[in-house]
Amino acid sequence: MKTVNQKRMKKIAFVGALALSAFFWSCEKNEDIVANTYKLDETKSVAEWKGHLRTGYFNEGAITVQSENLTVQDGKVSGGVFTIPVSSIVNYNLPTDSVKHLLVHHLQSADFFNMAVHPNITYTITNVTSYSGTSSGSVSGANYLVNGDLTMLGKTNAVSFPAKIELNGNELKAEGTLKVDRTKWGITYASDPTLPDANFIQPDIDIHLKLIGSKK
């Protein structure tokens, strides 16, 4: 017959085993939710832009997008901040370098992005949710809705857009399209609706994000 002490020892051993099992299970769960950090390749990550006159004429170009702290948790982007240096604006469509420089310098002036006072535009991701919609103008295959805060000229407004986000090993790719109403951030140059069509610049800027990054 088992003694009282033997029964007590078996009970202690059983409880200890349960505790140890719970400990390792907890470690495994925590391992699963550890966030990884990704860095964008700034030579390949851009926001292509397009601005329109009311006549339909447009100028287009790109601006660099940087980030060293995009977080990926449980296989999904969960946060991060994009920095967009105003100094990196380029124009694609104008015929000569001198005309391109004139436009770029005007965009960097106080009439638009005021680079001297506000050298960077920032976008802070607040959350990313699954997306299965088909909103007009969204990229093909968009699988996530990115929600965040866009800061320009010291003002911040919420901006959301559908995006196609792919994680393949250590590589991250993201693509999305959106419209930004510049007047919400106080960029009102040539936005008076009484202006002639050839002088009126539409408030909305078309943006096409193309981002490539890798795990740090």
- The structural domains of the chain, with segments of one domain joined by +, span 1-32, 35-215
Picking from 150, 183, 187, 147, the residue whose alpha carbon sits closest to that of residue 163 is 147
CA dist 108 and 115 (Å) reads: 5
- Per DSSP (E only), the strands in 7-154 are 36-40, 46-53, 58-64, 70-73, 76-85, 90-91, 120-130, 144-152
- For tokens 């078996």, name the residue: 10
pLDDT in tens, 63-122: 999 999 999 999 999 999 999 999 999 999 999 999 999 999 999 999 999 999 999 999
d(CA 111, CA 103): 12
pTM of the model: 0.84
- CB atoms near residue 30 (< 10 Å): 9
pLDDT at 24: 44
Residue 12 CA to residue 25 CA, distance in Å, equals 20
Q: Are 83 and 120 in contact (CB under 8 A)?
A: yes
Instruction: Reply yes or no on whether the pLDDT at 26 is more than 60.
Output: no
Burial of 208 (0-12, 13-18, 19+ CB in 10 A): middle
Distance CA 22, CA 14 (A): 12
Res 34 pLDDT > 70: yes
Percentage of residues in the chain with pLDDT exceeding 90? 81
Give residue 7's pLDDT band: very low, low, confident or very high (50, 70, 90).
low
Architecture of domain 35-215: Beta Barrel (2.40)
User: What's the average model confidence in pLDDT over 144-152?
Assistant: 98
Please report where in the chains the tokens 């196609």 appear, as a residue: 164
pLDDT value for 115: 98
